[in-house]
C-alpha cells in the first residue's frame, strides 16, 4: 500500500479531548491510562448533572470533543474544496490550446498529491463504459482470428492508406480470440519507465498485483528490481529495439532469447500493423519465439483499436502523431481491470523538489520531439487520478 493510501498529507491530528480543569473523580490511575479520564472531563458527577442526564429534554453539556469534531468537518470540507479546485484547474488546462510549462505541471502535481485519493466505482464504471463503446479492448485490443478474418484486408494504423492481406500464414499466427478476454483482472499495475522509479521501493507492491503491464522490454533484474519489481504478464516491444539491438533477429537470436527470459511466460505485444515497416520485424519475433519454443508468446495490437483509441483521446484534447505505448496500455487496462495503478509515469526532467530525474530509470534517452503529446497525455492521467478512476503513484512506495 502506498503512502497516499493511508496518510493524511497535511498531518492533521485531533486535539486533546479536553483542556478544562477536571473535578475530582474516583478514576483509578489505570482507568486514566485507558483514556477514561476524557469522559470525566464532560462534567463532575454531581446530583445536578445526574438530573440533567436523566432528562430527555435537557441538552447534554457541550464538550470540546464536539468542537474538535466540527473543526475536523470544516477541515475536511476545506480540503475537498481545494482538491476540487485543483481538478477543475487540470480540466480547464486540458481544454485550452496553450502549452503549459513543466513548472506549471509540477505545481499542479504538488497540490494534487496532498489530496487523499479515493477510488470512485461509479466514475470508473462510467469511464470504462465510455471506452468500451468506442474501442472495446476486451475484443479488439489484440488482433485475433475472431476480429481479423482470413482473406480480409487490414488497414494499417498510421499508414492507413496501406493494407495487408490476412493470408493463411498470418491467420495462423493470431490467437482464436483475445488471450486477455478472461477479464476483469482485479488489481493491475501499469509500469512506465520514468526515472522517478529509481529508489522508489515500489517493486514488492508492483509484484503483488494480479496483472502487470510493462513497456518496451525494460530491465527488471538486479538491484533495480526492488524499485520496479520482477513480475511481468505483458510487455510491449518497439520494433526499433529489435532492429537496433538485435539486428532484426537476422542474428543475435540467442542474446534476444536470453534477455527476454526474465519476463517468464509474458505476452510480447508488438505493433505489427501500425506501420508497414514494422510488420516483418514483428513477425520475425513471433517466428523466433516459436522456433526456439520460448515461454513467451508474441501477440499484435489490432490497428482498428489503436485508431479508435487515438480518436477517443483526440476528442479530449490529446492530439499527437501517435499515442505513447504507456498511454495505450493504460487505456486498455482501464477496460480490462477493476483497479488500475500507474507507476513510473513522470514526463518531467525534475521532481517536485526540483531534483534532476532521468527520462528513464535505466537511461536518459529522450523521445523524438513532437512524436508523442506527453504533457497532454499526463494531463488526462492526472484527471483520471483526481476522479478516482485510476491511481497514480507520485513518489516512493511504503516498504514493509
Among residues 358, 325, 303, the alpha carbon closest in space to that of 214 is found at: 325
Q: How far apart are CA 19 and CA 67, in angstroms?
A: 12
Cell numbers of 331, please?
487505456
Give the orientation angle of helix 121-134 with respect to helix 303-314, to 10 degrees.
Answer: 120
Between β-strands 391-392 and 163-165, what pairing exists: parallel, antiparallel or unpaired?
unpaired
Is 385 catalytic? The answer is no
Cell numbers of 56, please?
430527555
Judge whether 41 and 63 are in contact, CB under 8 Å: yes
The C-alpha torsion from 228 through 230 and 235 to 237, rounded to 10°, is: 80
Cell numbers of 149, please?
478474418
302, 360, 372, 385: which is the annotated catalytic residue?
Answer: 372
Q: How far apart are CA 285 and CA 270, in angstroms?
A: 9
Residue 186 is inside which H or E element, if any?
strand 185-191
3-state secondary structure 9-66: CCCCCCCCCCCCCCCCCCCCHHHHHCCCHHHHCCCCCCHHHHHHHHCCCCCCCCCHHH
Judge whether 214 and 234 are in contact, CB under 8 Å: yes
| Residue 335 CA: distances (Å) to CA of 188, 207, 326 | 11, 21, 15
Q: How far apart are CA 56 and CA 54, in angstroms?
A: 6
Q: How far apart are CA 320 and CA 377, in angstroms?
A: 9
Dihedrals phi, psi of 297, to nearest 5 degrees:
-135, 130
Judge whether 392 and 385 are in contact, CB under 8 Å: yes
Q: Is residue 370 packed enough to be buried (19+ CB in 10 Å), middle (13-18) or exposed (0-12)?
A: exposed
Among residues 296, 301, 273, 274, the alpha carbon closest in space to that of 285 is found at: 296
Dihedrals phi, psi of 351, to nearest 5 degrees:
-85, 175
> Which residues have a catalytic role annotated?
372
Amino acid at each position: 500500500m502506498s503512502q497516499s493510501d493511508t496518510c493524511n498529507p497535511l498531518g492533521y491530528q485531533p486535539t486533546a479531548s479536553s483542556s478544562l480543569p477536571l473535578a475530582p473523580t474516583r478514576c483509578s490511575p489505570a482507568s486514566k491510562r485507558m483514556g477514561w479520564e476524557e469522559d470525566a472531563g464532560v462534567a463532575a458527577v454531581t446530583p445536578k448533572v445526574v438530573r440533567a442526564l436523566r432528562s430527555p429534554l435537557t441538552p447534554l453539556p457541550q464538550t470540546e470533543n464536539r468542537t474538535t469534531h466540527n473543526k475536523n468537518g470544516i477541515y475536511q470540507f476545506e480540503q475537498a474544496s481545494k482538491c476540487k479546485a485543483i481538478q477543475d484547474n487540470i480540466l480547464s488546462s486540458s481544454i485550452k490550446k496553450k502549452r503549459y510549462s513543466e513548472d506549471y505541471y509540477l505545481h499542479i502535481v504538488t497540490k494534487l498529491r496532498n489530496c487523499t485519493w479515493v477510488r470512485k466505482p461509479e466514475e470508473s464504471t462510467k469511464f470504462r463504459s465510455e471506452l468500451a463503446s468506442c474501442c472495446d479492448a476486451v475484443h479488439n485490443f489484440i488482433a485475433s482470428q475472431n476480429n481479423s478474418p482470413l482473406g480480409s484486408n487490414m488497414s494499417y494504423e498510421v499508414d492507413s492508406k496501406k493494407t495487408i492481406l490476412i493470408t493463411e500464414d498470418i491467420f495462423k499466427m493470431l490467437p482464436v480470440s483475445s488471450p486477455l478476454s478472461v477479464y476483469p483482472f482485479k488489481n493491475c499495475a501499469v509500469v512506465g519507465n520514468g526515472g522517478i522509479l529509481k529508489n522508489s521501493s515500489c517493486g514488492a507492491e508492483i509484484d503483488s498485483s494480479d496483472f502487470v503491464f510493462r513497456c518496451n522490454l525494460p530491465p527488471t533484474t538486479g538491484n533495480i528490481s526492488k524499485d520496479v519489481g520482477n513480475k511481468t504478464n505483458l510487455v510491449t516491444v518497439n520494433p526499433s529495439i529489435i532492429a537496433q539491438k538485435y539486428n532484426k533477429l537476422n542474428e543475435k537470436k540467442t542474446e534476444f532469447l536470453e534477455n527476454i527470459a526474465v519476463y517468464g511466460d509474458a505476452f510480447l505485444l508488438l505493433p505489427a500493423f501500425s506501420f508497414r515497416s514494422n510488420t516483418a520485424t514483428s513477425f520475425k519475433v513471433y517466428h523466433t519465439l516459436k522456433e526456439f519454443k520460448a515461454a513467451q508468446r508474441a501477440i499484435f495490437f489490432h490497428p482498428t483499436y489503436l485508431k479508435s483509441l487515438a480518436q477517443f483521446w483526440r476528442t479530449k484534447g490529446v492530439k499527437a502523431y501517435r499515442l505513447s505505448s504507456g498511454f495505450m496500455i493504460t487505456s486498455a487496462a482501464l477496460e480490462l481491470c477493476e483497479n488500475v495503478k500507474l507507476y513510473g509515469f513522470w514526463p518531467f526532467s525534475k521532481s517536485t523538489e526540483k531534483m534532476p530525474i532521468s527520462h528513464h530509470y535505466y537511461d536518459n534517452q529522450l523521445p523524438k520531439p513532437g512524436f508523442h503529446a506527453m504533457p497532454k497525455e499526463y494531463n488526462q492521467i492526472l484527471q483520471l487520478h483526481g476522479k478516482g478512476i485510476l491511481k497514480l503513484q507520485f513518489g516512493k512506495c511504503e516498504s514493509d
